């Protein structure tokens, strides 16, 4: 590791931020939904998912009931557009088939479960993984890309002008980003990390914490 970067990492110690190592996600009919959640947010997400599936099924049923009864939906003449050349009976059969097809994704009695795991599984992150509910960061590793490096630079500049020391959360992110300095392939990103490292060293000359 570059000596300047290494010195900056040492100055950030001890790292006091402690993110959760375990994240949770919702399974619907054994299929994982998108999003990772902390222990505090996962039950709320489970309730939201249950409500979403129930409402989507109701919306689909109501949509096709109206189409079969009136031939229209949302101001559009579905009977004319989709049922050209069909008898009323044939059109209703077509509508029922389309409704059944859409309802397969939202069955009448879906199973909902909560599964826990490592949000960092597989690696390859360019920014720290956070809870999609409250935004709190999980304990994950990352190699910053340009977007992440620029955000860290902005945060470091704010600290420089505020006269304060780095918050535990920001120090944690900076520690990981700088520790992985040698793994960054983009030289422009490395240059930004070097600027951040120098900021940390300069800030340490002032009042720490």
Kindly write down the DSSP assignment for every residue of 185-196, as one continuous string.
--HHHHHHHHHH
Neighbouring residues of 76: CB distance < 8 A, sequence distance ≥ 6: none
Please tell me the predicted confidence (pLDDT) of residue 197.
Answer: 95
State residue 209's pLDDT score: 44
The pLDDT assigned to 205 comes to 77
Q: Find all residues with CB under 8 Å of 91, minimum gap 6, and list them.
A: 68, 71, 79, 82, 83
Residue 162's pLDDT is: 83
- Hunting for tokens 């599936």 — which residue is that? 53
Residues of the chain with pLDDT under 70: 121-122, 206-209
**pLDDT tens for residues 52-83?**
999 999 999 999 999 999 999 999 999 999 88
* Domains of the chain by residue range: 3-21+136-204, 23-115
Contact 146, 64 (CB under 8 A): no
């Amino acid at each position: 590791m570059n000596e300047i970067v290494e010195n900056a990492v040492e100055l950030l110690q001890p790292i006091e931020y402690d993110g959760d190592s375990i994240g949770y996600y919702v399974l619907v009919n054994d299929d994982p939904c998108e999003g990772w959640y902390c222990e505090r947010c996962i039950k709320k997400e489970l309730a939201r998912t249950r409500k979403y599936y129930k409402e989507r099924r109701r919306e689909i049923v109501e949509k096709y009931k109206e189409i079969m009864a009136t031939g229209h939906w949302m101001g559009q003449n579905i009977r004319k557009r989709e049922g050209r050349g069909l008898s009323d009976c044939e059109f209703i059969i077509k509508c029922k088939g389309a409704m059944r097809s859409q309802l397969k994704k939202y069955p009448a009695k879906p199973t909902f479960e909560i599964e826990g795991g490592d949000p960092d599984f597989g690696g390859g992150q360019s920014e720290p993984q956070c809870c999609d509910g409250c935004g709190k960061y999980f304990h994950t590793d990352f190699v910053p890309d340009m977007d992440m490096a620029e955000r860290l630079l902005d945060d470091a500049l704010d600290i420089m002008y505020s006269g304060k020391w780095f918050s535990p959360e920001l120090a944690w992110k900076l520690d990981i980003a700088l520790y992985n300095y040698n793994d960054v392939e983009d030289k422009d990103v490395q240059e930004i990390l070097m600027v951040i490292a120098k900021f940390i060293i300069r800030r340490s000359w002032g009042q720490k914490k």
